[in-house]
Amino acid sequence: MKYTVLELQTRAQAAFAEGDFVCVRLEDGREIRFPISANRRLREATDAQRGNIEIICNGTGLHWPDLDEDLSILGILEGRLGPA
């Protein structure tokens, strides 16, 4: 018997810090936001460090190079926002 696993791939098109939130615009047009205060590394960072966000892994992740912090888009959607 052969099984096929389908994985939902939600991809980011853009990401930016805005006020007290990280905002992510998805390829399907949705925009999601989460509070910077929910992640210790982001909370303790400067505005410039928070704003330096790279989209990685073909749009399935975010990377803050100044902070060595990575979050997956699926994790963000599930509420897994890194170290509190």
Q: State the architecture of 12-77 in CATH terms.
A: 2-Layer Sandwich (3.30)
CA 53 – CA 45 distance, rounded (Å): 12
The domain limits of the chain are: 12-77
Residue 5 in this model has a pLDDT that exceeds 60: no
Sign of CA dihedral 51, 52, 57, 58: positive
Tokens in use for 47? 């505005």
* Main-chain dihedrals φ then ψ at residue 52, nearest 5 degrees: -90, 80
pTM to 2 decimals? 0.88
pLDDT for 4 equals 54
User: What's the pLDDT score for residue 14?
Assistant: 98
